Structure 1
Amino acid sequence: MENLFVVVVTYNRADFLENLLDSLGRLDMRPEGIIVVDNASSDHTADVASRAISAGDLPIRYERLPENLGGSGGFSRGVELALEAGAGWLWLMDDDVEVLPGAVDELDRFTPDYSCIIGRRYDANGNPFFWQHHFVEALGIFLPVSHGVFKHSDVFRTNVGNFEGMLIKAPLARSIGLPDPRFFITWDDVIYGWLAAQRTPVVYVNAFVIQKVRAQRQVDLGLRHLNDSSDLSRRYVMRNRGHVAQYLRAHGKFNRIGFGTGTALTFLKEIFRLALVERTPKGFGALWRGWRESRAILADQGWEPMPPVPAQAGRDTA
């Protein structure tokens, strides 16, 4: 895998970041570069990055943003920096995971045939984490699919992304543009994968490459997991429905009635999350506020999708 760059976004989780960098140092096949984007953390994240850079074992570039731009803004800047540095492949991940030693070799098996790849991951307890989804354009939501997607093949074709290990080839990233910072958090990786799927197959592969290290409360519903959340996340889950609708509209795939149904289902899912996982009625206000904000985004006649990133001379021609 030529010129692999890892893009990590972090915010006030210095110890998790340190663990992730340590795991990158244990890789059998090292990346050419590691971009760490710090969303204006107030903990000792800068010290962790400084020590890792001083150790000289990993090719780290650390950038601290002047304000918290959310995961979306962080990944947008990180992808931009990686492309500017000449990345051939970009491996996007949050700070609360660690990579498994043979991960790059495992993913590399699929790079001759695919330009957007998502490997499997374990949860914090070391159990396989269920992640198989498909974005239903008519509803504007992603839905879980069967557990047995790898019964007959090591490749499952999907149309969503995940910023806990999404691997994307640089020319494809340039063609669909940077991750959209307007999302701030949630829906950004789903739509980034969906945009990629408009141009090329996006695949979920039967290779465990990442483990989540931050434990989360969750309920196993059989066909899917429901994790715990926060009022901020609840607000943006609903607010960003506006951006999702605009992307569908830009690609001629927006169905007003279907999308309204999908929004209602999203709202109900978050109510179930409050009841089953967090066991509290608090959070309804955040959902309502986010829905009202989504209406303003949807009504914005000047909204435009993220533009393509121009190719650099002599690069990204494949």
Structure 2
Amino acid sequence: MAAASPAFDVPATTSFDPASATIAIVTYNRSALLSKLLDSIIAMDPKPGHVVIVDNASGDDTTEVVESYRERLGTELVYRRLEENTGGSGGFSAGMQVAYELGSEWIWLMDDDVEVISDGLARMGAWAPRFKSIQGRRYDYDGSEFYWQYRLSIPLGIPIPFAPAGFDGAGYREMNSGCFEGMFIHRSIVAEIGLPDPRFFIYWDDSVYGWLASLRTTAVIVNEFVLTRTREIRQWDMGIRHLNASSDAYRYYIMRNRGIMRHYFAEHGAYRPVRFALGTALTFVKEIIRLLIVERKVRGTSNLFRGMRDGLAIARDRSWAVMPPLEG
């Protein structure tokens, strides 16, 4: 694994209390991966005040695995099993709600297929006095540095693939997106923008949520490695950039959810019809490339077309309302 990222001199106005933070994990039928994550939390120093696990109605032994960690996790464990699979979007919305109701000052979101680096919370907390929406960095499955596209072109509604990957002496870059695999966000921002929208099910939910946060505060990605992926995903390596394999469900929702994204952009005066349509076309082309080059098949395009059809119906639905703020 690559060496740990350097510690930066961050101006502090108030100290960070690790007990004020909650790790919120979403899991679904991956108890073996969840165990690795919980083992890494046991090894953390410092630990958060709470760990919230949202189980998307798993059919495996997730409940038994979670209960086996309750006495040895070293911090308070809150387990919420949902009655049905609500996707990552519904799981993160529920996890953030539980963490918020616990009174958490900071909420750290993550999937079940990562491990936390032992001093990860301290590294994130070092930036907490300065920023309120923070994204740390991740190592990929093979120990390489994972690149995440942290900037969105809002008119197009797509990630900017050529956003700089490096960091200068400041140790951070401003972002206008988000990733629920590691988002570290303050409760005051959650109060203002509301919970993540569970209607996305999967895809674009964290991008939109991170954008909403960036409208309220300076959102940043910091040069701190705090997570390691524990699941290998087939991908097309393009140097520092990569294109992961996908699934029929992702192909459907990546197109369908652009209808939801359009409502959020319109609500905040950022919707530009022609350029957003171009972004939708570029998204479609990207998914075709993913099918042909990464997955080496042609079947699956029907899911893209179904997603476009249903997304257009959502976009035209005038009764659709964005998620409300939690306070104020």
Paired with 2:114 and 2:236, the residues of 1 have a C-alpha distance of 20
1:263 to 280, 283, 286: 280
The two structures have a TM-score, normalised by structure 2, of 0.92
- Residues 130 and 147 of structure 1 are in contact (CA less than 8 Å); yes or no, is this contact kept in structure 2? no
Does residue 216 (structure 1) correspond to residue 233 (structure 2)? The answer is: yes
Match of 2:107 among 90, 93, 96: 90
**Identity between Structure 1 and Structure 2 (%):** 46
SS of residue matched to 2:109: strand
Name the structure 1 match of 2:45. 28
Cα deviation code 1:83-138 (max 9, x no counterpart): 11110000000010000011111111211110000001000001101113311111
Relative to structure 1, the CA distance from residue 162 to residue 251 in structure 2 (aligned partners, 3 Å threshold; closer, same or farther) is same
- Give the stretch that moved more between structures: 31-40 or 145-154: 145-154
Could you give the per-residue CA deviations for residues 238-296 of structure 1, whole angstroms, max 9, x where no partner exists?
Answer: 00000111100000110110010000000000011111110010110111111101001
Which amino acid in the other structure matches residue 104 of structure 2? A
Give the superposition deviation at 1:214: 0.4
Secondary structure of 2:216 counterpart: coil
- CA positional deviation for 1:156: 0.5
Report if aligned partners of 2:200, 2:257 keep a CA contact under 8 Å in 1: yes
Q: 3-state SS of the aligned residue for 1:107?
A: helix
Q: Distance in 2 between matches of 1:56 and 1:96?
A: 18
Q: Please say if residues 150 and 221 of structure 2, whose CA atoms lie closer than 8 Å, have aligned partners that are also in contact.
A: no
Kept in 1: contact 2:139–2:229 (CA 8 A): yes
Structure 2 contact 196–209 (Cα < 8 Å) conserved:
yes
For residue 111 of structure 1, the aligned residue among 104, 128, 133 is: 128
**Is the contact made by 2:200 and 2:253 (CA closer than 8 Å) also made in structure 1?**
yes
8 Å CA contact 2:149–2:159 kept in 1: the answer is: no
Return the match for 1:43 from 39, 43, 60: 60
In structure 1, distance between residues paired with 2:183 and 2:227? 11
1:141 aligns with 2:149: no
Residue 57 of structure 1: how far off its partner (Å): 2.6
In the other structure, the counterpart of 1:315 is: none
Aligned equivalents of 1:297 and 1:162: distance in 2? 23
Residue equivalent to 2:306? 289
Where does structure 1 lack aligned partners over 5 or more consecutive residues?
312-318
The residue identity in structure 1 corresponding to 2:185 is I
Residues in 1 aligned to 2:308 and 2:140: alpha-carbon distance in whole angstroms: 31
SS of structure 2 residue aligned to 1:72? helix
User: C-alpha displacement at 1:149, in angstroms?
Assistant: 3.1
Pairing partner for 2:96 from 70, 79, 104: 79
Asked if the contact 1:92–1:163 (Cα under 8 Å) also holds between the matched residues in 2, the reply is yes
Matches within 5 A, 1:1-318: 1-2=16-17, 3-55=20-72, 57-222=74-239, 224-310=241-327
Distance apart, 1:54 and its partner CA: 3.8
Which is further off, 98-107 or 53-62? 53-62
Is residue 147–residue 223 contact of structure 1 (8 Å, CA) maintained in 2? no
Deviations 1:182-217 (A, max 9, x none): 000011111110000011111000000000000001
How high is the TM-score relative to the length of structure 1? 0.95
Aligned residues: 311
